Amino acid sequence: MVYSGKQYAFPKNEPSTGSWMVKQTLASDICTKLLTGIGSGACGFNSYCTMDQDERVDCICAPHYSFFDNDRKYRGCKPNFAAQSCEQGGESTFDFQVVDNLDWPLADAELYNPMNETECRINCLNDCFCAVALYNNGSCWKKKYPLSNGRFKIDVNRRALIKYSTSLSSSSQPEEERKLRDWRIWAIGGASLLLLVSVILNLGLLAARLSMRRKRTLVGASSDTAGPALCLFTYKELDEATKGFSEELGRGAFGTVYKGALVSDTEVLIAVKKLESMLELEAAEKDFMNEIHTIGLTHHKNLVRLLGFCKEGTHRLLVYEFMSNGSLNKFLFGSDSPNWNQRVEIALGIARGLAYLHEECRTQIIHCDIKPQNILVDDNLVAKISDFGMAKLLRLEHTRTSTGIRGTIGYFAPEWFKNSAITAKVDVYSFGVLLLEIICCRKNLDWDYDFGSEVKPTLIECTKECYRTGRLNLLVEEDEEAKKDGMRLERFAMVGISCVQEEPWMRPSMKKVVQMLEGTIDVAVPPNMYSLHM
């Protein structure tokens, strides 16, 4: 038996006169003195050793971990959550629990010095092999499984950032909670099934009505479709609907958009996009149909709805719902720009639409060209993302030449110009630029405030300088409503700066961006906040 740092023994050969005797005196603090290169140390793996009030050793599981065997705690602990996925977006459901004076001195994966705590968090969060990050005075140690030789003591000068899944694991819940949760799942599932049946029936009736209308008004239309609710139009039908493509709504990287109208029982306004790159890129018929099918399956409040398409001869046209207020570019930078609360809702809508494209739809879609011209606004001032799926449809996501990159200067992520992988983080960067523009109603490359720099600064640089000097009100000088909402103004500015970090791994996912904008999670001071290049 070990007690108070001493090893005791009881002599079995002298039961009548025998007594407990001290056989060996151990270190007064076993937790910090005992360190094993092989094995788990004083306690099991993924746990840590501490001394109770009676100076007895106690083994405790790390937060969000539980013992394999409560009666034999030395066997160690297991996580109460599934391991982090190494696929893109796997970090979005993980967070940290902070415990001071806790250390696992072995199981080092990497050491960074110098590095601040925020960068340490982000680095571990984006590394699916990192279980815990330990931070102390500019040094960041990343730890991998299994964690060994854990010790907790007031004079242990470490801060443990213990990574865990924010999705509650069933193994960590009491039986009663699991039963209640299961009952709720069954109840919600039953209600959802009834709702789904109702929706399917209504959609079926609607599709039947639309089919009847099309047969009456769109002569020569085929019954062929690329997916649910997508109509196949003939070129003649769209030529007539747009009156010979006479009213141009806009011209962009992927083609020209025209206003049109489908006349059935009522007149339905549409926007018809003529794709101009299909012959040049010789996109295969199968690839075209596959991407149209993917786009047709995306349904979200903040995405422009694709209604149909044309693939006749060399013609490739897409038919979208019509947005009465046009693009955000005209709406935001015009003489009658939206008020602060409207801009807040527009920013949130765009963020939610991008989060859906990245993480919630059946196939991940990276937009590759987020800018005000590709955000449309409807009658109710709801922002909707357009041109999603175009980069893959026209095979532009792999194009890296200066002449081949499509879009507008000022919104490109740095990796477009490097030999780096193009991931969803390019959209995060572009959204960060757009968010700052929405805050200020000014363009990134059209900022004229004088900070004493010889080179005209961008809006990104001006926002960093205003944040650093505590003068964010300069960004919204003539907007009293925004200045009164100072906490949200600061939060939105910090999110924008976090999104435009140079390295993709330092940018948050769009799901986290939505949570930060909504205020459901805190926004850390963006990394490299005080690093300006002006």
Torsion, Cα of 293, 296, 297, 300 (10° steps): 160
Does residue 146 have a cis peptide bond before it, meaning omega lies within 30 degrees of 0? yes
Measured between alpha carbons, how far is residue 29 from residues 23, 56, 101, 304 in Å? 18, 9, 15, 65
Measured between alpha carbons, how far is residue 295 from residues 111, 149, 388, 520 in Å? 43, 52, 8, 30
Whether 376 contacts 304, CB under 8 Å:
yes
Whether 233 contacts 317, CB under 8 Å:
yes
Structure tokens at 239: 């030529």
CA atoms within 13 A on the CB side of 12: 0
By three-state DSSP, how is residue 49 classified? Answer: strand
**Extended strands (E) in 144-211:** 150-152, 159-165
Closest CA to 368 of 412, 421, 322: 412
Name the active-site residue from 127, 239, 369, 479: 369
CA–CA separation, 415 and 435 (whole Å): 20
Does residue 504 have a cis peptide bond before it, meaning omega lies within 30 degrees of 0? no
Residues 6+ apart with CB under 8 A from 228: 296, 297
Closest CA to 324 of 259, 385, 264: 259
CA–CA separation, 532 and 455 (whole Å): 13
Return the residue matching tokens 């931070």.
135
CA–CA separation, 149 and 2 (whole Å): 18
CA–CA separation, 241 and 263 (whole Å): 8
Torsion, Cα of 437, 516, 344, 322 (10° steps): 80
Q: Is 265 a catalytic residue?
A: no
Closest CA to 149 of 136, 139, 135, 134: 134
Structure tokens at 166: 């924010």
Does the annotation flag 274 for ligand binding?
yes
Closest CA to 84 of 75, 76, 94: 94
Per the annotation, binding residues for ATP are 274
The residues that are catalytic are 369
